[in-house]
Amino acid sequence: MPGGADQTLIPFLWRAERLYDDTEIVSRTHEGRVRYDYADYADRARQLADVLSADGHGRGDRIATFCWNHHRHFETYFGVPGAGTQLHTINPLLPDHHVEFIVENADDRVIFVDPSLVEKLEGPAGSAAFDGVEQFVVMGDTVPDTSLSPVTDYESYVAGGDPGYEWPDIDEDQAAGMCYTSGTTGKPKGVEYTHQMLWAHTMTTLTPQGIPVADDDAVMPVVPMFHVNAWGLPFSTTAAGAKHVYPGPSPEPADLVSLIEDEGVTVSAGVPTVWLGIQQYLQEAEGDLSTLERVIIGGSAAPESLIRWYDQEHDVEVVHAWGMTEMSPIGTVASLKSGMDHLDYDGELDKRTKQGMPVPGLEMKVVDDDGNEVPWNGEDFGELLVRGPWVTREYFERPRATEEEFEDVPASDASGESEEQHSSGRWLRTGDVVTVDEEGYVDIVDRTDDVIKSGGEWISSVELENAIMAHDDVAEAAVVGVDHDTWGERPVAFVVPAGDVDEDALAGDIQAMIEADYPKWWRPDAIRFIDEIPKTATGKFSKMTLREEYGDRVHVQDVPEDAAPEAEEE
Amino acid sequence: MPGGADQTLIPFLWRAERLYDDTEIVSRTHEGRVRYDYADYADRARQLADVLSADGHGRGDRIATFCWNHHRHFETYFGVPGAGTQLHTINPLLPDHHVEFIVENADDRVIFVDPSLVEKLEGPAGSAAFDGVEQFVVMGDTVPDTSLSPVTDYESYVAGGDPGYEWPDIDEDQAAGMCYTSGTTGKPKGVEYTHQMLWAHTMTTLTPQGIPVADDDAVMPVVPMFHVNAWGLPFSTTAAGAKHVYPGPSPEPADLVSLIEDEGVTVSAGVPTVWLGIQQYLQEAEGDLSTLERVIIGGSAAPESLIRWYDQEHDVEVVHAWGMTEMSPIGTVASLKSGMDHLDYDGELDKRTKQGMPVPGLEMKVVDDDGNEVPWNGEDFGELLVRGPWVTREYFERPRATEEEFEDVPASDASGESEEQHSSGRWLRTGDVVTVDEEGYVDIVDRTDDVIKSGGEWISSVELENAIMAHDDVAEAAVVGVDHDTWGERPVAFVVPAGDVDEDALAGDIQAMIEADYPKWWRPDAIRFIDEIPKTATGKFSKMTLREEYGDRVHVQDVPEDAAPEAEEE
């Protein structure tokens, strides 16, 4: 067939170098602020690729980073895949045993590590899991005292490379990147990104309803570059020929505001915590966000008050986005679509606090337990399934996890010519329980692991928690499903009171509040008061711990007939 | 490898139908103005696909159109590829023997034809070339008196289809479209578009430096839908969820202005003639272009005065774009890039009248006769070569033409794992002779067939013609290269005088003008006065005819030593 050239990352860099040779790449680093342009950048990326090639690394070899966001890390973004090798960005916040597991699992050959992370890496690097690592490269121009070996500094390492290195011919199916996703249970799962997946992801994010970057933008990814390629921004910013601004190691709000002011940042991106931090900082200190037009927030939901504050105080549009490691990562973006002129400001905020609409090229569906699609009415919920050219079809060397989290839909090939199962038939089960409203905005209401399945119907633990936490006397609350003979599962609430309160009265209040707003069968069968909700390493409620610790000790009463799901249904 | 889902057109339609179900598709037709929405459109496209499938058409079958721009033609854009079949859009302006050739060459099974084009089709349809055509479908709800057989009307044809038809699983390498490109010599050459090529083209055109369409746009393609899918606009407009406006058969300027006014058109596209026509119309009649933001002009170069007039009189930005049938078709777009603030208005216009910069994902190079890249300095010129995911790698069943017009660059695969010649190594020779300026803007100076190669250097026939036609006493002029023993080729000018003039004096004037502005060796060796420059069917100078008629009768003198290219070089 007459198909076109392979979809690889290199033409994006070629274009930036030729059309935007003097556009800047600016980086806060351990050594201060560094700036150069695309012409310099391309030379250095080629030098890096040349050294990797000369050292015998090629297709199939994984090259890892253990770094914050800076220009040298960005050099690996094109230098490593450009050499035909695969960039594996390791999350330095992982516990040591996870780092050991993934370095061994990925068989990393070279590890680039930040000076401030050398000590953190030394622990796992002492294990046999690191036996395959041939070289450690410290991201700077000196080598600190370290047990990592053999070790060199980045500037010496790339100095031997040829800036005139010619990129090898690369296949679009060749692996370009890799990230591990860590669930609450089990070992991290590897997700590989081919050149084609990153190409397609770059393109869809550049469309008006993605996270468009134009050549006159200055883009500062605060989201770590080890979190799914900083949501693809280093690639899309290059494809657009825009300016890059990297905030370096552990940036404080003052550092970020200073970069925005000095470098004219127009687009930035990060988790809500970052923007809450800047908000707090700016409520006490001076700061000029006038160049900043858009802030992309993902990772977890931003409070409505945050969106409102940036909008009203600084004329900065906060754009909610949702994605997954398995999705390269963007899936939905909560920009306002056409035909929403009837909404007032609060109505708009209501849309903008949701996870948003699928970007062009993605398909999604929401299914109930039986696999039937639920209607887009903003109320019915089910698990979100997605597929698209930048959604992976498997986990790295994890056939069982792949089988569990992907769903093959039987192909109905009209032509009869095709013999293999088409890739487009494979849906990723996101594990998110969502509603979709009439306008197509996705709203995550729970994780499938946490949703409570009672009498064939789903109850959102997150909604119940929010309802309970709205009570003034409640500090924290978590709702989990516990086994029940008749209904399968029933909700039980764990509540941390705010101070010294009458627990019986509070329990009564809570039940009354829930009964007023939700179906009767959503009412928790028991309310347990505890001192603290157990948390995961990343600060989320650990419902697994709650179930393990309390599950069999909670006495669940039979639910009255009139509160059963079936009775409510008709 | 873990690559994502196939890149096919269907998810674009899925998204438009689900997110923009009530966004309009408006069409001027033989029967008046028709309007419906994406929900209706998707139903009708599925009905069409169902009928095609039920009639036994599937993968590998070509379904042709012989139509202007309207909603029914647009229905074939998704309905035909969505059924797994291939949409072949025939240019109804072609001479009959070309229509015969391409219908036979493509082996078209069904032909959709406009009522106003039935008579035109009847001629070629009488030939044996049409023996494979199983069905003619007239685009309306009645069948006119016609010799086409078997024939039905479109509304009856699709009425039997199921709007609940399920799209088959489609492979990204499967053919979705087809167009023929007609050179000045030889038979038309078929170019096939795979789903993946159209997907990639749609995506790159939606980036900020392509031809971005957002969901609040209303897009009116005046460029015919048989000209390389109306430059991809029906696909990109759908992917964006924007409103479509189709101008129907043979629209007059008044029709187009009326559609812009009534439908709030924001983006339109067409050849310069269309916009010159509207300009003339608006200089005499009233018209409101206030909703119109951008006009994409391609096909041939727009005069600077036209760009200036739309800008200054109507605040409409004219955007030059360049492409080819082989490129799906967009290659370069002349939007202003960042960092051009130093330019005044005339300086900006100078950039905007060029063909523009390559869109993201495309690679290009400009090479001299020896295949060496020429510098980007706005002066040196050579042939433009391109490659990219939406650039075809071959002509349909034309291996020799493929060999001539594509260049394989030896793959230097560092990994050594890949055995096949990678597709990314194949460059398309565009046949355009161009300069590229320091900013990366391409400017077409000639066609390779017309450029004159003298003493190893190139002379632009187009530049010489423009210089000669600038003389008040010249009506028309064409410059061609004729064979020369010493220099290979030398320029000869054919001049049509404006009225009764002293030919010797005019010849002297012309030589003096050229000598003042160009290297000595650009001076034509002979100036021949003729009554008329022969033209091609599309109104362009037929230099082939000039060479055939006059080539051997022109006496070319030896060029003086000091006018030789080599002497000029140092």
Residues A467-486 have pLDDT tens digits of 898 899 998 899 998 888 88
Is the pLDDT at B420 greater than 50, yes or no?
no
Q: B296 with B166, same domain? A: yes
Q: B79 with B137, same domain? A: yes
Residue B4 maps to a domain: no
Residue B446 maps to a domain: no
Is the pLDDT at A322 greater than 50, yes or no?
yes
In the numeric block, the tokens 């909008």 are attached to A311
Give pLDDT, residue B415: 39
What is the Cα–Cα distance from A527 to A468, expressed in whole angstroms? 11
Could you tell me what percent of chain B has a pLDDT over 90? Answer: 72
Give pLDDT, residue A136: 98
Give pLDDT, residue A412: 38
Q: Which residues of A103-125 are buried (b: 16+ CB within 10 A; e: fewer)?
A: bbbbebbbbbbbbbbbebbeebb
Is the pLDDT at B500 greater than 80, yes or no?
yes
Greater confidence (B456 vs B63) lies with B63
Mean pLDDT across the stretch B481-500?
A: 88
Residues of B in contact with A411 (CB under 8 A): 169
Give pLDDT, residue A553: 61
Greater confidence (B456 vs B287) lies with B287
B6, B20, B215 ranked by CB distance to A422: nearest: B6
- Identify any residues that bridge with B122 across adjacent strands, giving them in sequence order: none
Say yes or no for a CB contact (<8 Å) between B212 and A207: yes
Residue B408's pLDDT band, with cuts at 50, 70 and 90, is low
Say yes or no for a CB contact (<8 Å) between A424 and B337: no
Helix, strand, or coil here: A459? strand
Q: Which of residues 218-257 of A touch B (CB under 8 A)?
A: 239-242
Mean pLDDT across the stretch B423-440?
A: 86
B208, B241, B357 ranked by CB distance to A212: nearest: B208
Q: Which of residues 182-221 of B touch A (CB under 8 A)?
A: 191-194, 196-197, 199-200, 202-204, 206-209, 212-216
Is the pLDDT at A559 greater than 60, yes or no?
no
Residues of A in contact with B191 (CB under 8 A): 2
Residue B54 maps to a domain: yes
Q: Which residues contact A263 (CB under 8 A, 6 or more apart)?
A: A26, A218, A220, A243, A245
Q: State CA A142 to chain mean position distance.
A: 33
Say yes or no for a CB contact (<8 Å) between A207 and B209: no
Mean pLDDT of chain B: 90
Q: Which of residues 421-460 of A touch B (CB under 8 A)?
A: 422-426, 439-440
Greater confidence (A106 vs B186) lies with A106
A20 close contact with B: CB closer than 8 A: yes
Q: Determine whether B85 is exposed, middle or buried from the number of CB atoms within 10 Å of its CB (0-12, 13-18, 19+).
A: buried
pTM across the whole model: 0.88
The closest alpha carbon to B195, from B87, B72, B322, belongs to B87
Q: State CA B96 to chain mean position distance.
A: 21
Residues of A in contact with B440 (CB under 8 A): 18-19
Mean pLDDT across the stretch A235-246?
A: 98
Mean pLDDT across the stretch B127-138?
A: 97
- Domain total in chain A: 3
Could you tell me what percent of chain A has a pLDDT over 90? Answer: 71
Q: B460 with B432, same domain? A: no
Q: Which residues contact A472 (CB under 8 A, 6 or more apart)?
A: A498
Q: Select the residue from A109, A171, A213, A439 to test the B interface by mutation, using most B Cβ atoms within 10 A.
A: A171
Is the pLDDT at B558 greater than 90, yes or no?
no
Residue type, B157: Y
CATH classification of the domain holding B71: 3.40.50.12780
Interaxial angle between packed helices A10-19 and A38-54, expressed in degrees from 0 to 180 and rounded to the nearest 10: 140
Among the residue ranges A109-118, A127-136, B178-187, B461-470, the one predicted with the least confidence is B178-187
Residue A408's pLDDT band, with cuts at 50, 70 and 90, is low
Say yes or no for a CB contact (<8 Å) between A212 and B207: yes
Highest mean pLDDT of the ranges A100-109, A423-432, A476-485, A517-526: A100-109
- Write down which residue in A440, A463, A486 finishes a domain: A440
Say yes or no for a CB contact (<8 Å) between A59 and B417: yes
Q: Do the Cβ atoms of B379 and B330 come closer than 8 Å?
A: no
Q: Is A326 a catalytic residue?
A: yes
- Write down which residue in A411, A440, A469 finishes a domain: A440
Residue B313 maps to a domain: yes
Give pLDDT, residue B567: 38
Say yes or no for a CB contact (<8 Å) between B360 and A84: no
What is the Cα–Cα distance from B502 to A494, expressed in whole angstroms? 104
Q: A125 with A238, same domain? A: yes
Among the residue ranges A129-138, B246-255, B263-272, B519-528, the one predicted with the least confidence is B519-528
Sign of CA dihedral B166, B172, B174, B176: positive
Residue B247 maps to a domain: yes
Give pLDDT, residue A187: 82
Residue B411's pLDDT band, with cuts at 50, 70 and 90, is very low
Containing structural domain, residue A228: 10-333
Give pLDDT, residue A208: 97
Q: Which residue of B has its CA nearest to A58?
A: B415
Say yes or no for a CB contact (<8 Å) between B4 and A392: yes
User: What is the distance in angstroms between the Cα of A523 and the nearest Cα belonging to chain B?
Assistant: 34
Q: Is A453 a catalytic residue?
A: yes
What is the Cα–Cα distance from A55 to A50, expressed in whole angstroms? 8
Q: Do the Cβ atoms of B151 and B111 come closer than 8 Å?
A: no
Sign of CA dihedral B114, B117, B122, B125: negative
Residue B555's pLDDT band, with cuts at 50, 70 and 90, is low
Mean pLDDT across the stretch A189-196?
A: 96
CB count within 10 Å of CB B476 equals 17
Q: A169 with A259, same domain? A: yes
| Residue A69 DSSP label | B
Residue B489's pLDDT band, with cuts at 50, 70 and 90, is confident
Q: B183 with B86, same domain? A: yes
Residue A15's pLDDT band, with cuts at 50, 70 and 90, is very high
Residues of A in contact with B214 (CB under 8 A): 208-209, 338
Residue A403's pLDDT band, with cuts at 50, 70 and 90, is confident
Give pLDDT, residue B413: 38
Is the pLDDT at A54 greater than 80, yes or no?
yes
Q: Do the Cβ atoms of A462 and A470 come closer than 8 Å?
A: no
Say yes or no for a CB contact (<8 Å) between B393 and A2: yes
Could you tell me what percent of chain A has a pLDDT over 70? Answer: 92
A5, A197, A337 ranked by CB distance to B387: nearest: A5
What is the Cα–Cα distance from A154 to A121, expressed in whole angstroms? 16
Among the residue ranges A3-7, A20-24, A399-403, A536-540, the one predicted with the least confidence is A536-540
Q: Is the ipTM beyond the 0.90 threshold?
A: no
Give pLDDT, residue A165: 98
Q: A378 with A480, same domain? A: no
Residue B292 maps to a domain: yes
Is the pLDDT at B236 greater than 70, yes or no?
yes
Residues of A in contact with B213 (CB under 8 A): 208
Residue B550's pLDDT band, with cuts at 50, 70 and 90, is confident
Q: Determine whether B55 is exposed, middle or buried from the number of CB atoms within 10 Å of its CB (0-12, 13-18, 19+).
A: middle
Q: A427 with A458, same domain? A: no
Give pLDDT, residue B553: 61
Residue A568's pLDDT band, with cuts at 50, 70 and 90, is very low
Q: Select the residue from B203, B216, B364, B437 to test the A interface by mutation, using most A Cβ atoms within 10 A.
A: B203
Q: A388 with A320, same domain? A: no
B52 close contact with A: CB closer than 8 A: no
What number of residues does chain A have?
A: 570
β-strands B488-497, B526-529: how paired?
parallel
Q: Which contacts of A258-261 are long-range, i.e. CB under 8 A and separated by 24 or more positions?
A: A259/A26, A259/A28, A259/A220, A260/A220, A260/A287, A260/A288, A260/A289, A260/A291, A260/A292, A261/A287, A261/A288, A261/A291
Q: Select the residue from B15, B21, B390, B395 to test the A interface by mutation, using most A Cβ atoms within 10 A.
A: B15
Say yes or no for a CB contact (<8 Å) between B360 and A166: no
Q: B373 with B294, same domain? A: no
Is the pLDDT at B414 greater than 60, yes or no?
no
Mean pLDDT of chain A: 90
Is the pLDDT at B419 greater than 60, yes or no?
no
- Write down which residue in A402, A418, A440 finishes a domain: A440
Say yes or no for a CB contact (<8 Å) between A418 and B216: no
Among the residue ranges B167-171, B286-290, B456-460, the one predicted with the least confidence is B456-460
Q: B56 with B152, same domain? A: yes
Residue B90 maps to a domain: yes
What is the Cα–Cα distance from B364 to B36, expressed in whole angstroms? 41
pLDDT tens for residues A381-400? 899 999 999 999 999 988 87
CATH classification of the domain holding B563: 3.30.300.30
Q: Which residue of A has its CA nearest to B168?
A: A413
The closest alpha carbon to B139, from B71, B200, B91, belongs to B71
Helix, strand, or coil here: A116? helix
What is the Cα–Cα distance from B347 to B456, expressed in whole angstroms? 33
Residue B447 maps to a domain: no
A54 close contact with B: CB closer than 8 A: no
Is the pLDDT at B176 greater than 90, yes or no?
yes
Q: Select the residue from A169, A337, A417 to test the B interface by mutation, using most B Cβ atoms within 10 A.
A: A169
Q: Which residues contact A39 (CB under 8 A, 6 or more apart)?
A: A17, A21, A22
Q: Which of residues 303-362 of A touch B (CB under 8 A)?
A: 328, 337-339, 357-358, 360-362
Helix, strand, or coil here: B357? strand
Q: Which residues of B are catalytic?
A: 181, 326, 453, 458
Residue type, B139: M
Q: A371 with A242, same domain? A: no
